[in-house]
Structure 1
Amino acid sequence: MRPLFTDEDFEFATRTLLGGVFAGAADVGEVLTTVDRIRDGNGRSWVDEWTATADRLLAEDGSAASTAARALRAASYLATATGAADRTGDDGLFASLWERHRRAWDAFVDATDLAVERLEVPYEGTTLPGYLFRSGAPDDPRPTLVYTNGSDGSVVGAWVRGISGALARGWNAMTFDGPGQNAALVRQGLHFRPDWEHVVTPVVDALLARADADPHRLALVGVSQAGYWVPRAVAFEHRVAAAVADPGVVDVSAAMLTHLPHHLVRLLDAGNREVFDKEIALGLRLTPRVRAMMTWRMRPYGTTSPFDFFTAARAYTLTEDVVRQVTCPVLVTDPEQEQFWPGQSRRLYEMLPGPRELVRFTAEEGAAGHCEPLAVGLRGERVLDWLARQLT
């Protein structure tokens, strides 16, 4: 497939946006005309042009239905803009763009005629924000899909790859911001943790206290880094009826460590924090794009030390002892050309002790790449059909 950008980050983000057209989170003409204005590889241009497209949509008047549709697309474009915020040299831009994307999303929530409720899930002395979309009446228990984002997915991504498809089947759907994600990161300063069962269990508690969630038909779907978190969580939280890992992730750190020269890996193994950080800092001065990427990746881990970041990431590993405790059926997606965790979907599939399915997505189908960005429809059909069979 011919790329629109030589910049790999821009290309992947654009494909993700185009996939969102299936769920109303983008419009083809808006995406392509914005892409046409962007200078390839220029972070400021990327931010400015996606922001300009979003601003135009938000400024237009219309009916409640049109306002909701435009706000959803604007939220999607603003979320996309955040991906290059750290490449502009403006330290405060990421948070301000994120806030703008969230306001646009909330404008969609307020204007839509869908039944949607903002949630505050009790969590270790505070709360985690979430959104529950209902297909039925408040006292009508329905199958409920719980969508878990990865390391940097927006709430719009939850709509595109989980919520919209679940609603079309008459299910309820819920997403939440876990530690290190979205509002929990930007507004609350909460950071990632590897033991995600301590996040999912409060979410399950909150849902099962409601009359509209069927306690026997609860599905947990995780994308990107949540392909680690979801299997980890269901190893301990057994009230989940079925789970999806898209893709399967056994060792989160592998995506980071493959970029390190061998001598730096040896410093990491030796625990030499001071020398490791000095060498990384020297290299980052010569590569602004990689420096921005490191800032982006370290932020949800709550550190500015590369040594601490790589060390922390190594704790995000699924062991045989943990995986053998999974009792619910698990679907693992296995996209061709997986660029972050190649081969790990099959590894996870082979580790799982109970009912399981490995679903391949291919380039010929237009479904290659991490999280199948251009195949939202096909992915949703396969994943939701499988879940429907488990939840009957």
Structure 2
Amino acid sequence: MSYRFNENDQFNYEVLLALGAVWRRGADAGEVLTTAAGVADKDGAAWFDAWTELGHRVGEDADRCAAMGHPLSARAAWLRAAGYFGTALVAADALQDGGKRAAEVFAEHRACLDRFLHACDPPAERVAIPYEDTTLPGYLISPPGTDDETPLPTLIVNNGSDGPLTAAWTLLGAPAVERGYRVLLFDGPGQQSMLFERGVTFRPDWENVITPVVDHLLLRPGVDPRRLALAGISQGGYWVPRALAFEQRLAAAVADPGVVRVSDSWWQHLGPDLRGLWESGDRDAFDAIIGEALEQNPSLAAMWRWRARPYGIDTPYALLTEVARYDLTHVLDRITTPLLITDPEGEHFWPGASQRLYDALPGPKWLVRFTEEEGAHLHCEPLGRALFEQRIFNWLDARLGTPART
């Protein structure tokens, strides 16, 4: 079954994600469908403007609701506005001043997210996690009716390569809080505020990110050290098992989906001939061919810049050489933490990788399939959120000994 809302494959997928966020009040179906219809055959600049305009309109509604003493309406609208700004950012590199506009809209996105999380009950706590010579920004969100001292199961939510933090909330954070977990949302190197505001790029050795996060959480009395879990979405399917190969203090983990080599998502679009040229080491020829293709296709060039931005590398040969370092092959035998891997039918970034990761793991492992027949197919199951939550959190509850609330 194919759902088409836009001629651009990435934009079409973003519409699916936005529709899926309706399940957790991260979007409104009417707002999404109306906005998507208005840019169905338009370019990235039109996409950026339309979703930014929607974010402004909904954010202004939220501010008015707050001023009039309607906190629930304000909170709901701030979350939607933050999500719409995040959707706009996918096309920022289609603009002439993409970097400047991206920074401006990211600030608006994060301001709305801040207001939403502050309006939660209890208000989310902003945290600064010690990391090398700086800190990682994040939010610790607790279930209603809980205090800071009672030890609770805690879920670390590991975002993907370029998704907004609102997606991490609707995909994993909100269902976890509803089930009685504390949830940590954070920006790692190359993600969101670390990229847009500090210029810090990705790193392949993600254990050096997750270990400081675990260190921080285990110092808190409200975190049960025996019930600490890690879950990652999209490229988080690489970050999570990479961290597990070195960080042993986690009781359970989820990769949605599984990823073994991040570069596979690039090569499936570039093809075997270009890969052969890259492997030959002919840097100049490779860069020339990719450069010419990007020059002839502005839409492709904009998406390439968006995908490349978190790595901080401009030239194609050097970029693919860096992405090739994100490979789990030589550390998979170290993973012993119980790991659930989703395997959605129609996975279009890393097809077949979930099965390969599952087959290679030596420790406790579960492969959970999501099918088109169930309406839960495609990367990160955008339209199958209820089924995803049921299967993944039932498993987490069982692993962590968490009292069921479902």
| Residue-by-residue CA offset, 1:365-391 (whole Å, 9 max, x unaligned) | 110100001111111111111011110
Counterpart of 1:68? 75
| Residue-by-residue CA offset, 1:10-38 (whole Å, 9 max, x unaligned) | 21000000000011100111111212222
Distance 2:147 2:266 in 1: 45
Distance 1:364 1:93 in 2: 40
1:389 maps to 2:398: yes
Q: Which amino acid aligns with 1:125?
A: D
Distance 2:35 2:268 in 1: 33
Q: Structure 2 matches for 1:297-376, cutoff 5 A?
A: 297-319=307-329, 321-376=330-385
CA drift at 1:132:
0.5
* Aligned partner of 2:141 among 129, 133, 142: 133
Counterpart of 2:388? 379
Determine if contact 1:65/1:112 at 8 Å carries over to the other structure.
no
Counterpart of 1:86? 93
Q: Structure 2 matches for 1:208-223, cutoff 5 A?
A: 208-223=218-233
| Residue-by-residue CA offset, 1:98-139 (whole Å, 9 max, x unaligned) | 221111111212233333101111111000101110122111
Deviates more, 1:253-262 or 1:363-372: 253-262
Identity of aligned residues (%): 47
Distance 2:372 2:202 in 1: 32
| Residue-by-residue CA offset, 1:331-364 (whole Å, 9 max, x unaligned) | 0000000001000100000111111110000011
1:245 maps to 2:246: no
Distance 1:79 1:65 in 2: 22
SS in 1 for 2:255: strand
Counterpart of 1:18? 19
SS in 2 for 1:211: coil
Determine if contact 2:5/2:40 at 8 Å carries over to the other structure.
no
Counterpart of 1:145? 155
Q: Which amino acid aligns with 2:209?
A: V
CA drift at 1:292:
0.7
Determine if contact 2:168/2:233 at 8 Å carries over to the other structure.
no
Q: Which amino acid aligns with 2:182?
A: N
Counterpart of 1:102? 110
Q: Structure 2 matches for 1:267-278, cutoff 5 A?
A: 267-278=277-288
Distance 1:146 1:95 in 2: 26
Distance 1:350 1:266 in 2: 27
Determine if contact 2:335/2:362 at 8 Å carries over to the other structure.
yes
Counterpart of 1:182? 192
Q: Structure 2 matches for 1:224-303, cutoff 5 A?
A: 224-303=234-313
Structure 1 outlier segments of 4+, above 4 Å = none
> Structure 1 residues 333, 57: CA separation in 2 closer, same or farther (over 3 Å shift)?
same
Unaligned runs of 5+ in 1: none
Distance 1:340 1:333 in 2: 14
1:121 maps to 2:129: yes
Determine if contact 1:7/1:41 at 8 Å carries over to the other structure.
no
Determine if contact 1:143/1:217 at 8 Å carries over to the other structure.
yes
Aligned positions, number: 391
Q: Which amino acid aligns with 2:119?
A: A
Counterpart of 2:6? 5
Distance 1:89 1:257 in 2: 28
CA drift at 1:264:
2.8
Distance 1:103 1:342 in 2: 36
Determine if contact 1:10/1:41 at 8 Å carries over to the other structure.
no
Determine if contact 2:342/2:369 at 8 Å carries over to the other structure.
yes
Distance 1:95 1:386 in 2: 38
Determine if contact 1:39/1:45 at 8 Å carries over to the other structure.
no
Unaligned runs of 5+ in 2: 402-406
Determine if contact 1:160/1:376 at 8 Å carries over to the other structure.
no
Distance 1:93 1:187 in 2: 13
SS in 1 for 2:124: strand
Aligned-CA RMSD value: 1.3
| Residue-by-residue CA offset, 1:202-250 (whole Å, 9 max, x unaligned) | 0000000000000000010011111011001011000010010100001
What's the TM-score, normalizing by structure 1? Answer: 0.97
Q: Which amino acid aligns with 1:364?
A: E
Deviates more, 1:3-12 or 1:123-132: 3-12
Distance 1:59 1:88 in 2: 24
Distance 2:180 2:142 in 1: 8
Distance 2:106 2:260 in 1: 29
Determine if contact 1:26/1:76 at 8 Å carries over to the other structure.
yes
SS in 2 for 1:238: coil
* Aligned partner of 1:191 among 201, 214, 217: 201
CA drift at 1:89:
3.0
